[in-house]
Amino acid sequence: MTPDQFSQLCKPREESVIDPAQWGQTPRTLLYGYTCKRDTFHVYVDATGVHAVIFEVGAVLSFRSTCQQGGLPLSACVPDKRVYVEPSDFEFCKYLQDNGLKFSFTTGWRATPELLPFAGKTLGMIEAAQESA
């Protein structure tokens, strides 16, 4: 290896960000899973962009969006524990894997997966629940 080759390996790689136009505006879950702390991890698209929300029952712990300055990094779209297979979008998961992100899927299948646009709560749903409380 030459010094130039070594410096190329040591350069920090520029992280890719989500292009919301690529995923359309059909509101739906792109990826649904959970973290090591058992918090819910939900990546979804709606009319305002692609969003990644980490929440516990009734409380938002973290929120990232393509609407925020700098966009939504691909690494923000993967939980640190597991991804549920059925509610997650195949094309989105393949896109993440093709871009070098590694994540684990849960095992087992539900007999009849729900065909709802969102597998879990969205930020709007959580805000609406908090306002009505």
Classify strands 82-83 and 104-105 as parallel, antiparallel or unpaired: parallel
pLDDT < 70 regions, the chain: 12-14, 57-58, 60, 66-70, 110-116, 125-133
Does residue 7 fall inside a structural domain? no
3-state helix, strand, coil in the chain (%, to 5): 25, 25, 45
**Residue 35 in domain:** yes
> Distance between the two ends of the chain, CA-based, in angstroms?
63
Does 27 fall in a domain?
A: yes
Quote the CA–CA distance of 51 and 63 in Å, as a whole number: 7
Pull the structure tokens for residue 113: 């997966």
| Domain extent at residue 86 | 17-128
Give the pLDDT score at 92: 94
Number of domains in the chain: 1
